[in-house]
Amino acid sequence: MMQRALEGLPLDDIFIFDIHGHIEQSRVIHTAEYDAKGIIAKLDRMGVNAIALSSNPALQSDPWLGNDLTVQAAKENPGRIYAYVVPNPYYEDFDVTKYFDGTPGVIGIKMHACEQMTALNNPAYIPALEFANKNKLPILFHTWEPFEVEQAVAIGKTYKDAPVIIGHSGFTSFASKQIAIEACKSTENIFVDTAISSTYDGAIEWIVGQVGVDRVLFGTDLPFYDCSHNVGKLALSKLSDSDKIKIFGENAKKLLKDII
């Protein structure tokens, strides 16, 4: 695996599932190749089998348009694109449940409270959280500051039937990392991902050493971060190939065993 990565070859001999991506343009950061066609081209270049996406427009302004676009991308690209539905705390008539009508590829909930200028524990999110918990759907949280990680962890401990993914693994401060680590150690339903925006050499080895390989999921934050360096930092890590294979996709396959 390391040799293929060093040669710039796609890792197409293992299963890779990206648990953390976005689709459509962001109003905050300009990105390239942000639509379904561009995203799949990026996946193909690196040998990534599939990706789970949430909509930037849904996170930032229009939950109806944004979520419709994500679900449509999943419908048009079965087995390659999967959709997170983004709840919105400002529109009482917006209902996440309508997207979970048996449409293949709609896998869970994505919450990014700071984009929506609120807190993860805003009571307006409760219906979406209860629905996810009842149906054992994964919930991916954007977490940055320690208080965001704390709020995500509290939700995970409340809604124990829903797999909870601490996006970015708290890798913005030591305090955030420690909260995420302790949560993984003390629960069965909380996971971290490798969409580590603020990273350093050995970061993935360190987080695996803290929480165990079974709690770590592969994520890139595409298109904000390209597949290449996220694939590379795992493929070129000092972990064993068997651990890398688990993180790249086998852990996601187990977590989403009835979906992917």
When pLDDT is cut at 50, 70 and 90, the band that residue 102 belongs to is confident
The model carries a pTM of 0.96
Kindly tell me if the per-residue pLDDT of 124 is higher than 80.
yes
Vertex 219: Cα angle to 41 and 32 (nearest 5): 40
Predicted pLDDT of residue 28: 74
When pLDDT is cut at 50, 70 and 90, the band that residue 178 belongs to is very high
Contact 245, 215 (CB under 8 A): no
Residue-wise pLDDT for 20-47, tens only, equals 999 997 777 777 778 999 999 999 999 9
Arithmetic mean of pLDDT, 82-104: 95
Predicted pLDDT of residue 208: 97
Per-residue b or e along 181-219, where b marks 16 or more CB atoms closer than 10 Å to that residue's CB = bebbeeeebbbbbbbbeebeeebbeebbebbebbbbbbb
150 — phi, psi (to 5°)?
-60, -45
Query: What are the CA-CA distances from residue 174 to residues 1, 17, 36, 193 (Å)?
Result: 31, 27, 35, 16
Burial group, residue 93, by CB count within 10 angstroms (0-12, 13-18, 19+): exposed
Lowest mean pLDDT segment, chosen from 70-79, 97-106, 134-143, 224-233: 224-233
Predicted pLDDT of residue 78: 97
CATH 3.20.20.140 assigned to domain 2-255? The reply is: yes
Contact 209, 239 (CB under 8 A): no
Look over the chain and give the mean of its residue pLDDT values, rounded to a whole number.
94
Listed by start position, the domains of the chain span 2-255
Other CB atoms within 10 Å distance of the CB of residue 10:
16
Lowest mean pLDDT segment, chosen from 84-88, 108-112, 113-117, 248-252: 113-117
DSSP 194-233: S--SS--TTHHHHHHHHH-GGGEE----BTTS-HHHHHHH
Report the C-alpha gap between 240 and 230 in whole angstroms.
17
